[in-house]
Amino acid sequence: MSHPVILSDDNFENEVIKSGKPVMVDFWATWCAPCRMIAPVVEEMAKEYDGQAKICKIDVDANPGVASKYGIMSIPSILFFNHGKLVDKIVGAVPKTQLVSKLQGAMAQVA
């Protein structure tokens, strides 16, 4: 069973920027209620897209460097990368259909 990849300031570059697959990154924090609401959806997507895309989570409190680099002001923020480039972004808790749609859009982009 696949779970989201847990990111940190230290492994973000390798796991996201250098990834050969499209990547969805959930910026979250333990105290954030909307983050907890979408957490099960992020888990489901990690299983559903195993092998096709990389689904990741990063705790903004523990990893302020990456959050700062991408200008994360409110959470949850979900960023979509393809070939190391930021291609899309959603801020706030949204239905799974929106996350899937944005991820599929990122997956469809070519370098």
* Residues designated catalytic: 32, 35
User: How distant, in Å, are the alpha carbons of 47, 67, 85 from that of 70?
Assistant: 26, 5, 12
- Is the Cβ–Cβ distance between 76 and 26 less than 8 Å? yes
- Is the Cβ–Cβ distance between 63 and 13 less than 8 Å? no
